[in-house]
Structure 1
Amino acid sequence: MMRALSLVLIASATFLAACGGGPKMDISQMTAAQPVDLQMAMVPTSVQTEYQIGVGDKLSVRVFQVPDLSFDELTVDTSGNLQMPLIGAVRAAGLTSGQLSAEIAERLSAEYLRNPQVTVTVTEAASQKITVDGAVTKPGVYEMRGTTSLLQAVAMAEGPSRVADLTKVAVFRTIDGQRSVALFDLAAIRQGRAEDPRVLGDDIIVVDTSRMSSTMREIINALPALSIFRPF
């Protein structure tokens, strides 16, 4: 079964209700919703590297040698579904293009085709927003289209301030409904000594964690290693 040939854009729902023009979120005043559970499973950043389809994304769907089931552009509806001939609504939101390809192929093979070869490609993603705060030149909420790395996200805010501690950059993210945080060494990333991770829609990036509340600093300091997301 063919896999998608390109995954280059990111889409997801907006994290902040204020993103549409309201004031930016003051992460420096954040407090923990609950104490850190040192027994909770750690989620490595690699889990988040493959793009998940979202509402409003436009997809190209190709079924090999079946033109009537091949489309240059289908849009994921507000329910997160993709409407296909014969098989009807197919859940797309939250899946990678490869997973969606497999799902469509399985549905088609159940009644209509023998060993269908399906390729799903994200051709356009709905815009999404990230928040960049802390010791940067212009803190705020920024819209991104396409794959964006942590370095690029900080650059959107016109880079760190001259007094920023780049060894401690926090990324807040919701993973499976749970707010999580990971710490990154931006200085090492700049020097090529560490991987430049992708940021996702709704991420909140805080440069220089010394500017955060003491409670949140305690949570971050409890992280066992860099680049590991931990619920809080």
Structure 2
Amino acid sequence: MTLGGTRATISARIAALMMAAVFLAGCVASSGDNPSPSASAANYTDSAEATPATRASAAATRPATTPATASTPVAAQPASLPAGEAAAVSALTAVSTPGSDGYRVGPLDVLNITVFKVEDLTKTVQVSESGSFAFPLVGDIQAAGRTVSEIEKDLAAKLGSNYLRNPQVTVLVKEYNSHRITVDGAVNKPGVFPMQGPMSLLQSIAMAGGMQEVAEGTILVFRRVDGKTAVAKFSVADLRSQKASDPDLQAGDIVTIPSSDLKIGMRYIFQSVPLFNAFMLL
């Protein structure tokens, strides 16, 4: 190839890269002048049954039926529920939240059981798939669907009927393995994670290795409430600056981090900058 041909090729490449940079700068300016009305607020709406990816797409394009402020927690009732059911939703939240007094034990949870002054009856047990566990002297104890207080009373009654006088039984949940959340989208380690106790939205992102550079800056949370799917949208900037409270998650929640096509395009442009600078040196 002649020197003239080489210079013409270099000039064409430079021109193409400059045009791409100008186009992206215009897109950034345009998006800055027209911010999304829901970018800093949590908006709730119902969502049809679908995969997390399709639900996220639908949530991004479908208007929310009931807007809420950025400080509204995920556990707030969705637009589809009558106002009179707010108390029921609140109670449901307490029952399904690890660490709460109303938490009900589930299969695969691990329990620490202590009988005061009886070391041989201090045990760590795991609830079986069928929802029960075996305990010395009394046999199988049903645990799934019951609070730790109910399990304590059942154990004390059975031990006190034949073996001990006024036994003092303490039951604590060591691992909440029956309660899991899903984190997917633009995170470094997407997956399904057990809730080892109360977990906030930002804690779930940290558990998934943090957000990738191409993350859009919003978080979508999908939750089943009263047989329907509710969707909440949060601004990452508002959560980190504490303009919005960091809400607690519930078992079964799906956290999705959308990616930004604009950021993806800019990343590829930036990867070509060293080549562009090399051309400028010729």
Measured after TM superposition, the shift of residue 190 of structure 1 is 1.9
Give the structure 2 partner of residue 102 of structure 1.
Answer: 153
Give the structure 1 partner of residue 200 of structure 2.
Answer: 149
Quick one: structure 1 residues 129 and 141, their matched pair in 2 at CA, closer, same or farther if it must change by over 3 Å? farther
Is the helix fraction higher in 1 or 2? 2
Would you say 1:57 and 2:109 are equivalent positions? yes
Quick one: structure 1 residues 100 and 39, their matched pair in 2 at CA, closer, same or farther if it must change by over 3 Å? same
Larger gyration radius, structure 1 or structure 2: 2
SS state at 2:193 partner: strand
SS state at 2:211 partner: coil
Which residue, 193, 211, 224 being the options, matches 1:159? 211
Mind listing any 5+ residue stretches in structure 2 that lack a counterpart?
1-50, 63-78, 259-282
Q: Contact between 2:217 and 2:235, CA under 8 Å: does it hold in 1?
A: no
The residue correspondences of 1:29-68 to structure 2 (distance < 5 A) are 29=57, 36-39=80-83, 41-42=85-86, 43-44=89-90, 47=94, 48=97, 50=100, 51-68=103-120
Quick one: structure 1 residues 30 and 183, their matched pair in 2 at CA, closer, same or farther if it must change by over 3 Å? closer
Q: TM-score, normalised by structure 1?
A: 0.57
RMSD, matched Cα: 4.0
Q: Contact between 1:154 and 1:160, CA under 8 Å: does it hold in 2?
A: no
The residue correspondences of 1:19-38 to structure 2 (distance < 5 A) are 25-26=52-53, 27-29=55-57, 36-38=80-82
Is the strand fraction higher in 1 or 2? 1
SS state at 1:77 partner: coil
Which residue, 87, 104, 114 being the options, matches 2:138? 87
SS state at 1:41 partner: helix
Separation of aligned partners in 2, 1:110 and 1:177: 42
Q: How many residues align?
A: 181
Measured after TM superposition, the shift of residue 132 of structure 1 is 2.5
- Percent same amino acid at aligned positions? 32
Measured after TM superposition, the shift of residue 119 of structure 1 is 1.1
The residue correspondences of 1:64-213 to structure 2 (distance < 5 A) are 64-68=116-120, 70-109=121-160, 112-126=163-177, 129-133=180-184, 136-138=186-188, 140-144=190-194, 146-147=196-197, 148-155=199-206, 156=208, 158-159=210-211, 164-166=216-218, 169-174=219-224, 179-182=229-232, 184=234, 186-207=236-257
Q: Which amino acid aligns with 1:126?
A: N
Q: Contact between 2:178 and 2:194, CA under 8 Å: does it hold in 1?
A: yes
Mind listing any 5+ residue stretches in structure 1 that lack a counterpart?
1-23, 209-232
Measured after TM superposition, the shift of residue 205 of structure 1 is 1.3
Measured after TM superposition, the shift of residue 63 of structure 1 is 1.0
Of structures 1 and 2, the one with the larger relative CO (CA 8 A, separation 6+) is: 1
Give the structure 2 partner of residue 16 of structure 1.
Answer: none
Measured after TM superposition, the shift of residue 61 of structure 1 is 1.0
